[in-house]
Chains A and B, each alone.
Chain A
Amino acid sequence: MKRHLISAADLTRDDAVLILDTAEEMARVADRPIKKLPTLRGRTICNLFFEDSTRTRISFEAAEKRLSADVINFAAKGSSVSKGESLKDTAQTLEAMGVDAVVIRHSASGAPYRLATSGWIDAPVINAGDGTHQHPTQALLDAFTMRRRLVGRDAGLGKGLDGRRITLVGDVLHSRVARSNVDLLHTLGAEVTLVAPPTLVPVGVETWPCEVSYSLDEVLPKSDAVMMLRVQRERMNAAFFPTEREYSRRYGLDSARMAKMPEHALVMHPGPMVRGMEITAEVADSDRCTVVEQVANGVSVRMAVLYLLLGGSEPAVTTPAAARTEENK
């Protein structure tokens, strides 16, 4: 493993599989009456959120607390891009306070990379989403969800997603989730197809390890999982597509479209969903939709990432037997 987790593209297949396997172990903790491990006791982790994201912040916080880390939440809302110096100052303040790791969310693409490489700070940096660049733990939790559903909880251990066909639908241009997923799913052996109106596909996408289609209906029958991306309402005013209705007709997922998918295929969404536009309520609430599972899996995957970056050599999950052996040494 690298020292930081900035981009899903930084992960080798072995790294990624190790994280997913470790996340399976972590998931077992959630089934225990006391959902807590001593692994990161005495370590301080700062959640540095320059951009609002309650879901991601809570997920990281839950993961940190289940590993017994001390948690500092720092919400530096809004002003960072207009006053760029604050990232450096904030980082150095945290460093001075002896923070052991920084989880950063920022509206500027590349901010976590700058934090990790500019010498402002020594602690490991975990990217919790930067601009339209990357959101690697989201990609990991998505891959984890897919592996569980498509390969199996135990059968999946040690494995990737080889040969599985995954479709991402929607605003690829502005989506860090899409970028992270394309990188990670490719690393794990899946075949990825992006589906969007041409206005929402970045210029330069031809170098990405994936296919691009403008027709959702053509791609659905050959998809093992379909991940709907969020379309922000402000895109409406910027002429990316004519109307919400037209977008919905061409790229929205309703039950008629879902019926074209293979029986086993999943419907995924990183949330929050815009019901009615990108996904109908019926589809969102169906058994095939994994949105709630994705949230739960997010905690396990983030525990795995934090443990692997910070935990050193101790086993992630100490079983009572292993603990006794440790004491007898």
Chain B
Amino acid sequence: MSKILIRGAKVLGGEPQDVLIDGETIAEVGTGLSADGVDTVIEASGQVLLPGLVDLHTHLREPGREDSETVLTGTRAAAAGGYTAVFAMANTFPVADTAGVVEQVWRLGKESGYCDVQPIGAVTVGLEGKKLSELGAMHESAANVTVFSDDGKCVDDAVIMRRALEYVKAFGGVVAQHAQEPRLTEGAQMNEGTVSAELGLGGWPAVAEESIIARDVLLAEHVGSRVHICHLSTAGSVEIVRWAKSRGIDVTAEVTPHHLLLTDELVRSYNPVYKVNPPLRTERDVMALREALADGTIDIVATDHAPHPHEDKDCEWAAAAMGMVGLETALSVVQQTMVETGLLDWAGVADRMSFAPARIGSLPNHGRPVSAGEPANLTLVDTSYRGAVDPAHFASRSRNTPYEGRELPGRVTHTFLRGRATVVDGTLA
């Protein structure tokens, strides 16, 4: 393994420092480090150095929908976006509800080499919400699964949810809930409100999310378990999580980049690129989510990267698939909505996009401080960059981004996974 010297980077946005990588670990952090015996020197003056980003919520689509993404293309997209670890959601075909499937995904991640892939196991068999999957077997497999989720579907049966929360305590697991009351969202196409009323699209009311979150934090309290709320999207959800935390309930929550930036006004275009679940909400919700991410009520940013092939979006709204790709634009959106608004500094970004997600997902070698002896999982960002998003340059197999042509700040110039560069000068290695 080689020695790499990153010179003059603002570590977590602080004072410029040099970082010496030796093999898989960070050997030294300081000023004026010597380049003797170093194979590569990266002049990073003005750039921000972050711990490698960790995404607790990625859809890699393999097995089953390799036409939209594979573990390889998805991890390449992750590396391009500055990630060194992603959690792969369980809603594949077959569903990741057995030790066999999670081990397959985990192994494909190892083979890809771009980014560590940590599979998420399904809570219930086939995501059907009826019968618990073999949660213990998935935990004991090579994939060492600790996060379980039926994401895409809500574990809506209160008894099943209770049992899952209780059961995973045996091995320190966490249930990540897709909070969506199914009866309240039958036929839902977008946020229920003034825009849906005008457009005549089926409404997805905020209360369908909030009522499930309220129930689940109470269940977690009752059984003394840990619950994680996926892609929180409404101001009311923020209030419930804030209340739960103040009460000492062990709840964590995530927000997606698109819910920090986009609103349901965009649906007026009927362009399915804006169709996502949970749906884009109102300006008031967006502002509440930003505040909550800043004050720590929302713990992390997770992409909900949801690749879809062109034909699943190039159609009428009602027929279109839900979801957006996000791995390659997440950091830019966070820079625009959180850093440039003064809500969060870069140390805060490191926390919300690396330290905290690694902690929630129990990933010991990611989300580590940038200091000597730590694994060299690092991301270097040129924060002064400005440019329009061009999906043609995406590493993801899919192009369903809502940001095409939109100018976003920041660009990942280098990503290191255990000391090996996966991105060099903004290009995949």
A interface residues (Cβ-Cβ under 8 A, vs B): 80-85, 87-88, 106-111, 113-114, 117-118, 130-134, 176, 179, 202-208
Q: Nearest residue in A to B192 (C-beta to C-beta)?
A: A203
Range class of the B interface residue count: 20 to 34
B interface residues (Cβ-Cβ under 8 A, vs A): 189, 192-201, 203, 205, 269-271, 311, 314-320
- Cα separation A85 to B314 with both chains bound (whole Å): 7
- Cα separation A121 to B72 with both chains bound (whole Å): 37
**B198 with A88: CB separation less than 8 A:** no
- Cα separation A176 to B201 with both chains bound (whole Å): 11
Q: Identify 7 residue pairs between A and B in the complex whose beta-carbon atoms are under 8 Å apart, listed by A's number.
A: A80-B316, A85-B311, A108-B317, A109-B200, A133-B200, A179-B198, A203-B197
- Cα separation A133 to B195 with both chains bound (whole Å): 11
User: For A202, what are the chain B residues with a Cβ–Cβ distance below 8 Å?
Assistant: 196-197, 203
User: For A114, what are the chain B residues with a Cβ–Cβ distance below 8 Å?
Assistant: 270-271, 315-317
**A179 with B200: CB separation less than 8 A:** yes
- Find the residue from A134, A204, A207 having the highest chain B CB count within 10 A: A204
**B270 with A81: CB separation less than 8 A:** no
Shortest beta-carbon distance, A74 to chain B, in Å?
A: 16
- Cα separation A82 to B315 with both chains bound (whole Å): 11
- Cα separation A80 to B320 with both chains bound (whole Å): 11
- Cα separation A179 to B201 with both chains bound (whole Å): 12
**B319 with A84: CB separation less than 8 A:** yes
**B319 with A204: CB separation less than 8 A:** no
**A204 with B198: CB separation less than 8 A:** yes
Shortest beta-carbon distance, B206 to chain A, in Å?
A: 10
**A133 with B203: CB separation less than 8 A:** no
**B315 with A85: CB separation less than 8 A:** yes
**B270 with A206: CB separation less than 8 A:** no
- Find the residue from B195, B200, B269 having the highest chain A CB count within 10 A: B200
Shortest beta-carbon distance, A129 to chain B, in Å?
A: 10
Query: Apart from A130-B200, A207-B197, what 16 extra A-B contacts exist at CB < 8 Å?
Result: A80-B316, A84-B319, A84-B320, A85-B314, A85-B315, A85-B319, A110-B201, A110-B270, A110-B316, A114-B270, A114-B316, A131-B318, A133-B199, A203-B193, A204-B196, A207-B198
User: For B192, what are the chain A residues with a Cβ–Cβ distance below 8 Å?
Assistant: 203-204
Q: Nearest residue in A to B318 (C-beta to C-beta)?
A: A108
Q: Nearest residue in B to A172 (C-beta to C-beta)?
A: B197
- Which residue of A82, A118, A131 contacts B200 across the interface (Cβ within 8 Å)? A131
Given the known interface contacts A113-B270, A203-B205, A204-B192, the answer about A106 and B197 at a Cβ–Cβ threshold of 8 Å is no
Shortest beta-carbon distance, B190 to chain A, in Å?
A: 10
User: For B315, what are the chain A residues with a Cβ–Cβ distance below 8 Å?
Assistant: 84-85, 87-88, 114
- Cα separation A111 to B271 with both chains bound (whole Å): 10
- Cα separation A87 to B311 with both chains bound (whole Å): 12
Given the known interface contacts A114-B270, A203-B193, the answer about A109 and B317 at a Cβ–Cβ threshold of 8 Å is yes
Shortest beta-carbon distance, A144 to chain B, in Å?
A: 23
**A205 with B316: CB separation less than 8 A:** no
User: For B205, what are the chain A residues with a Cβ–Cβ distance below 8 Å?
Assistant: 203
- Cα separation A83 to B316 with both chains bound (whole Å): 10
- Cα separation A106 to B315 with both chains bound (whole Å): 13
**A110 with B199: CB separation less than 8 A:** yes
User: For A130, what are the chain B residues with a Cβ–Cβ distance below 8 Å?
Assistant: 200
User: For B320, what are the chain A residues with a Cβ–Cβ distance below 8 Å?
Assistant: 84
Shortest beta-carbon distance, B380 to chain A, in Å?
A: 39
Q: Nearest residue in A to B320 (C-beta to C-beta)?
A: A84
Shortest beta-carbon distance, A141 to chain B, in Å?
A: 19
Q: Nearest residue in B to A179 (C-beta to C-beta)?
A: B200
User: For A84, what are the chain B residues with a Cβ–Cβ distance below 8 Å?
Assistant: 315-316, 318-320
